[in-house]
């Protein structure tokens, strides 16, 4: 009885794993589109944070005045 129970549990685990793999394979295009979109959003946010402050461009203007 214990051996049969073990075989049934292993079979259930294998079937559940196969179902998850099939689910991922069936939706691979959606997953890859989502990942591409996510990477683009992260890259845009990183560029926005790393961009220099617009007020920095006016600092050079007053260096030549020798005040």
CA distance 20 to 25: 9
Predicted model pTM: 0.54
Contact residues for 24 (Cβ-Cβ < 8 A; gap 6+): 31
Residue 41: both structure tokens together:
């959003």
Buried-state track 43-62, b at ≥16 Cβ within 10 A, e below 16 = eeeeeeeeeeeeeeeeeeee
CA distance 33 to 23: 16
More confident call, 32 vs 61 = 32
For 27-53, the pLDDT digits (tens) are: 999 999 999 999 999 999 988 888 766
Q: What is the pLDDT of residue 63?
A: 62
Residue 66 has pLDDT above 70, yes or no: no
Residue 26 has pLDDT above 60, yes or no: yes
53-59: long-range contacts, CB 8 A cutoff, minimum separation 24: none
């Amino acid at each position: 009885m214990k051996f049969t129970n073990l075989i049934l549990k292993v079979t259930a685990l294998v079937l559940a794993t196969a179902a998850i793999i099939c689910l991922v394979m069936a939706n691979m295009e959606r997953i890859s589109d989502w990942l591409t979109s996510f990477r683009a959003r992260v890259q845009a946010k990183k560029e926005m944070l790393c961009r220099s402050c617009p007020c920095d461009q006016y600092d050079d203007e007053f260096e030549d005045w020798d005040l």
